[in-house]
Amino acid sequence: MAGARLQCVTRGMGVGLLAAGAFVTLSDPSRAAESAAKPVTFAKDVAPILQEKCEACHRKGSMAPMSLVTYEETRPWAKSIKERVVSRQMPPWHIDKTVGIQQFQNDRSLSDDQIITIERWVDSGAPLGDVRDMPPPKQWPDEQGWQLAKQFGPPDLVLKSEPYTMPAHGQDVWWKPLTEVPLTEPRWVRAVEIRPATPAGRRITHHVLARLLQEEPDAPVNPGRLNTGDDSNTGGANNAGLLMEWAVGKNYDIYRPNTGKLLLPGARIWWELHLHAVGEPIRDHAELAVYLYPKGETPKYRTYLTLFGATANTSARLDIPPNTVTETQAFHVLKAPARLENFQPHMHLRGKAMSIEAILPDGSTQMLSYVNNFNFNWMTNYIYADDAAPVLPKGTIVHVTAWHDNTAANRNNPDPEQWVGYGDRTVDEMAHAWVNVTYISEDDYKEWAAKHKPKRPAPAALQ
């Protein structure tokens, strides 16, 4: 579908190095031809892009395999950079740019212009240019302090996971210890920050999840039950809402105004540290800083981390035969008006794509988000910008569709000859989206709807 709208951009430049399958969305092809006259250099044009969009991960001591800070470090990677950038694999941001909501709080993707600049730079021999054009080196904040301390002061709680020693070599490890949350009364959370404890730990840490385990017999709405047709979805591990996740570029969450998460006495954090070996043994733990609303202050809205399955029952009906691409889907009725704060698809090695759509009570359908290029290495959480987060009426059906690619065409696939079903191991599969759902009142919904009268494009404009 999207292919029809994409255009090959280098054609007008007479360079002809473009690999098949390399595309960029470009609204005005004449712009590329026009700017083709100006030489593109590392110093003037490319270094600022790398500083803005790559250095967060591609610098010494960070998670990526190589530094892209200086010309000398970057030049040997030029060809690979072009390939990853033009196919939109780097920076990791795998959402389809042609459908659904496009405003996010944490968008790290490149603009069309930035992609064209990088591509032209590589195609013209990746020149340095005039060193006097180089931007001053980017200063990175000291990652040893809590970043939210500037805004909120010292955290109210710091929770630490049990440490783990990752050996020099070996398979990836998913370390899942438990930590008690020391609270004697219910408290509301306004912000959370998470990190591997040391810079060395950052090198072995792919991601950290802090799931929240707590019993909620009197909850006004049980998030699991509210949104899934099947009670088995509320038990065991699936009852664990995600409190926070660490991945490079995602360090903290501040909930929207008057909104929070509720922590109850007896709550526990169930960690998941996805660790990988880097050639030397490293021991580290993860830390979670929790910032609470003042005692007695209750935000109006509660956010529930909710699992929207792409199968009617999380653990059943995932049936992926060898050498096939499968599609599974499920429907979840919102029993109260709600704002969806984010979209985080979760699948394993065969994961290929996932979409989330809203089927409104009037029968119309809105594509909210579509990750068309899912990559198991990147469990990106797409957080909608304040004005873009969809607010949906009671009775809306949330429709989640997942695609798994169990063929040899999937580069992550360890064995296309295997039948695959549901399970925890990465060689098993899952298919669900994690969404922070904030329920609002009917009155709030009416107020919101009055301010946001539907601006549906005429049918002709959709083509």
Residue ranges binding ligand HEC (CB under 6 A): 53-54, 56-58, 63-65, 68, 77, 80-81, 84-85, 90-92, 108, 110, 248-249, 377
Rounded least distance, CB 70 to ligand HEC, Å: 14
Rounded least distance, CB 323 to ligand HEC, Å: 25
Rounded least distance, CB 111 to ligand HEC, Å: 11
Rounded least distance, CB 115 to ligand HEC, Å: 9
Strand-pairing partners, residue 250, are 247
Output the CA–CA distances (angstroms, integers) from residue 247 to 137, 203, 305, 321, 358, in the order listed: 24, 11, 18, 32, 28
- Which residues, 6+ apart, have CB-to-CB distance to 149 below 8 Å? 155
Rounded least distance, CB 68 to ligand HEC, Å: 6
| Residue closer to ligand HEC, measured from CB, 181 or 286 | 286
| Residue closer to ligand HEC, measured from CB, 92 or 155 | 92
| Residue closer to ligand HEC, measured from CB, 85 or 334 | 85
Which residue do the tokens 């950038």 mark? Answer: 85
| Residue closer to ligand HEC, measured from CB, 85 or 210 | 85
| Residue closer to ligand HEC, measured from CB, 233 or 381 | 381
| Residue closer to ligand HEC, measured from CB, 147 or 329 | 147
Rounded least distance, CB 104 to ligand HEC, Å: 14
| Residue closer to ligand HEC, measured from CB, 84 or 97 | 84
* 8 Å CB contact between 381 and 344: yes
Rounded least distance, CB 378 to ligand HEC, Å: 7
CB atoms within 10 A of CB 269: 25
Rounded least distance, CB 210 to ligand HEC, Å: 19
CB-neighbour burial class of residue 295 (10 A; exposed 0-12, middle 13-18, buried 19+): exposed
Helix (H, G, I), strand (E, B) or coil at 40: coil
Rounded least distance, CB 274 to ligand HEC, Å: 12
Per-residue exposure over 449-461, b if at least 16 CB sit within 10 Å of its own CB, e if not: eeeeeeeeeeeee
Rounded least distance, CB 290 to ligand HEC, Å: 24
| Residue closer to ligand HEC, measured from CB, 26 or 269 | 26
| Residue closer to ligand HEC, measured from CB, 25 or 315 | 25
Give the tokens for residue 202: 């950052």
| Residue closer to ligand HEC, measured from CB, 83 or 357 | 83
Cis peptide before 91 (omega within 30 of 0): yes
CB-neighbour burial class of residue 21 (10 A; exposed 0-12, middle 13-18, buried 19+): exposed
* 8 Å CB contact between 394 and 360: no
Per-residue exposure over 300-332, b if at least 16 CB sit within 10 Å of its own CB, e if not: ebbbbbbbbbbbbbbbeebebeeeeebebbbeb
Strand-pairing partners, residue 330, are 400
* 8 Å CB contact between 404 and 350: yes
Strand-pairing partners, residue 405, are 325
Going through 22-127 in order, the beta strands assigned E by DSSP cover: none
